[in-house]
Amino acid sequence: MRKNIVAGNWKMNKDVIDAQQLMFQILEYKKNNPTNCEVWIAPPSLYLMMAKDLYEKDEVGVFSQDMSEHESGAYTGEISASMLESIEATGSIIGHSERRQYHGETDSHCNRKIKLALDKGLIPIYCNGETLEQRKSGQHLEVVKNQTEVALFTLTADEIKKVVIAYEPVWAIGTGETATPEQAQEIHAHIRNLIAAKYGKEVADEISILYGGSVKPDNAKEIFSQPDIDGGLIGGAALKIEDFAKIIEGFNS
Residue set of the binding site for substrate: 9-11, 174, 214, 235-236
Active site residues: 96, 168
3-class SS shares of the chain: helix, strand, coil, % to 5? 50, 15, 40
How many CB atoms lie under 10 A from the CB of residue 78?
Answer: 15
Outline where DSSP puts E strands in 109-192. Answer: 123-128, 164-167
How many CB atoms lie under 10 A from the CB of residue 156?
Answer: 10
Angle at 45 (CA atoms; ends 40, 51), nearest 5 degrees: 50
Q: Any residues with CB less than 8 A from the CB of 200 and at least 6 apart, and which?
A: 157
Distance CA 50, CA 47 (A): 5
Distance CA 105, CA 53 (A): 31
Roughly how many angstroms between the first and final C-alpha of the chain, as a whole number? 19
